[in-house]
Amino acid sequence: MIQIYDTTLRDGTQRKDISLSCSDKLRIAQRLDGMGVDFIEGGWPGSNPKDVEFFKQASKITWEHALISAFGSTCRVQGGPQDDENIRALLEAGTPVCTVFGKSWTLHALEVLRTTLPDNLRIIEASVAYLREQGKRVIYDAEHFFDGYKADPDYALETLRAAVRGGAERVVLCDTNGGTLPHEIGAIVATVRKQMDLPLGIHAHNDGECAVANSLAAVQAGCTQVQGTINGYGERCGNANLCSIIPDLQLKLGYDCLPQEKLAELYDLSHFVAELANLAPDEYQAYVGQAAFAHKGGVHVAAMRRSPTSYQHIDPALVGNQMSVVVSELSGKGNILSKAEQYGLDVNGSEEVNGALRTIKELEAQGFSFEAAEASAMLLLKRQQADYQPPFELIDFSVSVEQRQGRGIITEATVKLRVGEKVLHTAGDGCGPVHALDVAMRKALVEDFPLIEQFHLTDYKVRILNGNLGTQAITRVLIDTHNGYHGWSTVGAGPNIIEASWQALADSIEYGLLTTAGQAKPPRQAA
């Protein structure tokens, strides 16, 4: 059994663009507890009022599995732990566990703490011992242990022994600067393991892009606790990513970390934390990224249709993810068939498949891209069916932009649409051409399709594809739409930005109407 020690709420928030409210931290902690995480490091109670409030609120919650830990340093060299403000804050946090870090590296003891090597050993032992006397379980984080060991192995080991004498239940070996390599981690942990009869943990940072590999090497060498963060959030280049480490340990190496049924919630957990951190999820993150099991090359997809294991190292469902097929100019017939199956469409006829494939390649040559516009890809396939009747058809549109004295810029759009046998001709104004078109379309369609009022544009992206052509360049427009339940993306492209925007707008509404009517499966949304 490998203990999972999560430090997202403390070390994770040291990433430069993350700031979690107390409420955010409590929600994440409860989610981690529900996953079966063993320890949750709530923060540093002596550092800021928000962490103090977190521990106050956390004490009122009945935790099902996890133990909440408060984090802090050893006491100052002058005085003792009994009159140290940091140690007092740890006690006042009211947690069953305190995690205390101290200096393992002679450089830090002599030049950062500016104390003697014996005094550094004294404050480590005294701090741990005092917290134990107060009834706390103590985990000792040996900061910069691997750098310290490489500089002076005997002294680095002595710092661990000082923590053991104080009563620490576990010592955690920290690669604080993140520059140690896996083979070094494995060798040093194995040596420490022979020297000490006490459970070991590993705390790795990712400055050398080795935090996950280093954590795995440490476990294989004898560590039984792994510290890390969800999505690898953390200072500088981040911490060891638990979203990779947990499935690596559990699925690849056979260690128990979380209850097996909880592993399938890993995808949702990753996206939940990203959402609260106000960060876009990393699509390319191993195991839990939306692209982790996305297949684009036609050869790959063809092989996948015969055997899912041919280009996937695990079943994505084990971590709550799913396979997806990307439709692009690199697609083969397998891509089209897989995408059609995903949307519940019947395009088994070879002519429909070939037609869709030709259209995709032609459009992508013109500047379209369907990789981030799943809704447009679905519509393209839908339109290959001979019996498909779109909910509306464009007859024509016009947009005018005028500068009027005293009124500024005035933008007006007119659209002429066909719904069944009816022809609808409506005008609308807006703060710009795209807004005016959107207003006019909605006015024209809302009577026949009242659910259109629920569709809201959430993002509008413009990309110039060949800027060397100046104002004649091809423009790609990507529009994101949401209806309160799920979102979808559509694309348009062409030398005229208004035309490209119209294409994306029209697709957005058409897809939304089909999805609402149950004619298409909506794309899965992140938790």
pLDDT of residue 52: 93
Q: Write out pLDDT tens, residues 37-89.
A: 999 999 999 778 889 999 999 999 999 999 999 999 999 998 889 999 999 99
In tens, the pLDDT along 275-287 reads: 888 887 898 999 9
Residue 111, exposed/middle/buried by CB under 10 A (0-12, 13-18, 19+)?
A: exposed
Helices (H) and strands (E) in the chain, counts: 18, 16
| pLDDT (tens digit per residue) in 203-219 | 999 999 999 999 999 99
Does the pLDDT at position 185 exceed 60? Answer: yes
In the block, tokens 């900061």 appear at 143
Q: Residue 398, Cα to own-chain centre: how many angstroms?
A: 42
> What pLDDT, on the 0 to 100 scale, is given for residue 301?
52
For residues 488 and 374, give the distance between their C-alpha atoms in angstroms, rounded to a whole number.
Answer: 7
Q: Is 447 exposed, middle or buried (0-12, 13-18, 19+ CB in 10 A)?
A: exposed
**Three-class secondary structure of residue 126 per DSSP:** helix
Fold of 393-516: Double Stranded RNA Binding Domain (3.30.160)
pLDDT of residue 303: 60
Which position has the higher pLDDT, 301 or 82?
A: 82
Q: Across-strand partners of 140?
A: 100, 171
CA 321 to chain centre: 13
Which part of the chain has CATH 3.30.160.270? 393-516
Mean pLDDT along residues 189-210: 96
pLDDT digit string, tens, across residues 145-175:
999 999 999 999 999 999 999 999 999 999 9
Residue 334's pLDDT is 47
Do residues 237 and 255 lie in contact, with contact meaning Cβ atoms separated by under 8 Å? no
CA dist 192 and 185 (Å) reads: 11
Pick the CATH number of 3-276 from 1.10.10.10, 3.30.310.80, 3.20.20.70, 1.10.260.40: 3.20.20.70
Mean pLDDT of the chain: 85
- Residues 6 or more apart whose CB falls under 8 angstroms from that of 60 comprise none
Q: Which pLDDT score is estimated for 389?
A: 85
> Dihedral (C-alpha) 390, 520, 487, 268: value to the nearest 10 degrees?
-170
Query: pLDDT-based confidence at 227, cuts 50/70/90?
Result: very high
Q: What is the pLDDT of residue 333?
A: 44
Torsion of CA 248, 18, 484, 412, to 10 degrees: -130
Q: Strand ranges (DSSP E) for 247-367? A: 294-295, 324-325
pTM of the entire structure? 0.68
List strand residue ranges (DSSP E) for 338-474, in order.
393-404, 408-419, 422-430, 456-464
Could you tell me which of 83, 80, 12, 89 has the C-alpha nearest to residue 55? 89
Beta-carbon contacts of residue 397 (< 8 Å; ≥ 6 apart): 413, 414, 415, 416, 437, 440, 502
Inform me whether the pLDDT recorded for 403 exceeds 70: yes
* CATH 3.20.20.70 boundaries in the chain: 3-276
Residue type present at position 130: Y
The pLDDT assigned to 479 comes to 83
The mean pLDDT value for 497-507 works out to: 85
pLDDT of residue 348: 53
**Tens digits of residue pLDDT in 360-401:** 555 555 555 555 567 777 777 777 777 778 889 888 898 888
Token pair 């951190």 is found at 277
Residue pair 170/201 in contact (Cβ under 8 Å)? The answer is yes
pLDDT digits (tens, 9 = 90+) for 420-435: 989 999 998 888 888 8
**Nearest Cα to 287, choosing from 257, 269, 308, 266?**
266
Q: Indicate whether 344 pLDDT > 70.
A: no
pLDDT at 163: 98
pLDDT of residue 139 exceeding 80: yes
pLDDT in the model for residue 402: 84
Could you tell me where the beta strands, DSSP code E, fall in 58-167? 67-73, 97-103, 137-143
Confidence of residue 473 (pLDDT cuts 50, 70, 90): low
Model confidence over 256-273: pLDDT tens digits?
999 989 999 999 999 889
Per-residue pLDDT at 525? 42
Answer for the pair 200, 224: CB distance below 8 angstroms, yes or no.
yes
Binned at pLDDT 50, 70 and 90, residue 526 comes out as very low
Q: Which of 109, 83, 93 is nearest to 40 (CA)?
A: 93
Average pLDDT score over residue span 281-310: 72
